[in-house]
Amino acid sequence: MRRIPSRRLCTAALLVASVLAPMTAVPATSVHAAAVDPHSVNPYSGDRHDKDDCPPDGLDPKLTTRLDKAIAGVRRDAEVPGVIVGLWMPGKGCYVRATGVADTATGRPMTTDPFMRIGSETKTFTVTALLKLVDDGRIGLDDPISKYIHGVPGGKRITLRHLAEMRSGLFPYSADPDFVQDLLSDPTRSFTPREVLAYGFKHKNTFKPGKQFQYSNSNLVLLGLVIEKVSGHNLVDFIDKRVLHPAHLRNTLFPLDAEFPEPHPRGYTNQTLSGEVEDATDWNPSWGWAAGAMISNLHDLRRWAKIVATGTLLSPETQRERLKMLPTGFPGTNYGLGIFESDGWIGHNGSIPGYESVTVYLPSKKATLVVLLNTDISYENKEPSSVLAQKITEIVTPKNIYDRPVPPR
């Protein structure tokens, strides 16, 4: 995805990777992996696995070697503690690997089966839940947000579609300096949806609805409130019943607080008041709520990638609405309703302190790529998860490169 200021103050970050929008400007501080690096764990070497796993003779050996080398290179250069990669390409094979460490203090190796925080990938679940209500005939995408939620600045002109497309003009609450200070002063604090929205609502809207693209977590928190208002159920229960269960995602959950099922790796961030690296594993993601609080694992995300890109849970008409991609103003990046397209790859990525992810599907090849890692520390002003996805797709789908570099003018 093209570089859009979306996570760190005065620092360019990726369009869709970020749940935590502009925050503190921090110095680049490295995570040092344990000396046992690199670890390479094959899912058939004793880890818990299921029918989605990839046998050892997956892809062509030459491709496998190239992928191993590329991933190791990014991990080394970006100093990423641990990485999980899953690539499934019908007719060619698959590649499932965990490398590096899950805990830099103990050297515990990363494996392919842990639970991971998925940040902004939560948006694909929230918007799918919203679109279920569209299919039920209970809401319309062009309804104004004021019909459901009072107190939204300019709410009579902002539609649910504007919110899902990131074209509302509402100021991102996670870009508010007071929010950043309050969150980082006590990362275990629990925020309510109304509390986080208040940080954004004190700012003027940044543009008229529909006029341009701006990535804003405020949009998704509002959609979460709409789902609760219309369905009569809390968001966690609605997503569980109407999205996770029909999709057969047994290892995906919406935590109520800082809960984090085992096994999971430690996560490392420098989004701290000091700029020093801290362990963010047990930070409370409640501030991200409908925009970024969820947890999943490699194989659930593999399944979800195809479901969300092809619209299995939705009517064809509603899925067509979802995939009406609009330009973001950044070359190569288009955004639909809580979903993006990057050189043919459809899906979303996520970032939350300590963790990053990419989950995308390439319809032309019926290929799926999932990347998970236990740091969100940027590398050369880029999300390391996106650098990994780019390097992987350069090798396996050179005609469809995720976050394809823009040629210099």
Q: Is the dihedral of CA 13, 15, 18, 23 positive or negative?
A: positive
- pLDDT confidence of residue 407: 73
Mean pLDDT by 10 residues, the chain (409 residues): 31 35 34 34 36 67 96 98 97 96 98 98 98 98 98 98 98 98 98 98 97 97 98 98 98 96 98 97 98 98 98 98 93 93 97 98 98 97 96 97 82
Instruction: Say if strands 11-14 and 268-269 run parallel, antiparallel, or are unpaired.
Output: unpaired
3-state secondary structure the chain: CCEEEEEECCEEEECCCCCCCCCCCCCCCCCCCCCCCCCEECCCCCCCCCCCCCCCCCCCHHHHHHHHHHHHHHHHHHCCCEEEEEEEECCCEEEEEEEEECCCCCCCECCCCCCEECHHHHHHHHHHHHHHHHHCCCCCCCCEHHHCCCCCCCCCCCEHHHHHHCCCCCCCHHHCHHHHHHHHHCCCCCCCHHHHHHHHHCCCCCCCCCCCCCCCHHHHHHHHHHHHHHHCCCHHHHHHHHHHCCCCCCCCECCCCCCCCCCCCCCEECCCCCCCCEECCCCCHHHCHHHHCCEECHHHHHHHHHHHHHCCCCCHHHHHHHCCCEECCCCCEEECCCCEEECCEEEEEEEECCEEEEEEEECCCCEEEEEEECECCCECCECHHHHHHHHHHHHHCCCCCCCCCCCCC
- pLDDT confidence of residue 329: 85
- pLDDT confidence of residue 3: 29
- pLDDT confidence of residue 58: 76
d(CA 105, CA 267): 12
- pLDDT confidence of residue 405: 86
d(CA 112, CA 118): 15
- pLDDT confidence of residue 50: 41
Q: Is the distance from CB of 361 to CB of 310 less than 8 angstroms?
A: yes
Q: Where are the domains of the chain?
A: 3-396
Tokens 């590096």 sit on residue = 100
Instruction: Answer whether CATH 3.30.70.100 is correct for domain 3-396.
Output: no
- pLDDT confidence of residue 323: 98
Q: Tell me if the bond preceding 27 is cis, omega within 30° of 0.
A: no
Q: Which two tokens stand for residue 314?
A: 């939705």
- pLDDT confidence of residue 57: 61
Tell me the whole-structure pTM to 2 decimals.
Answer: 0.90
- Within 10 angstroms of residue 154's Cβ, the number of other Cβ atoms is 16
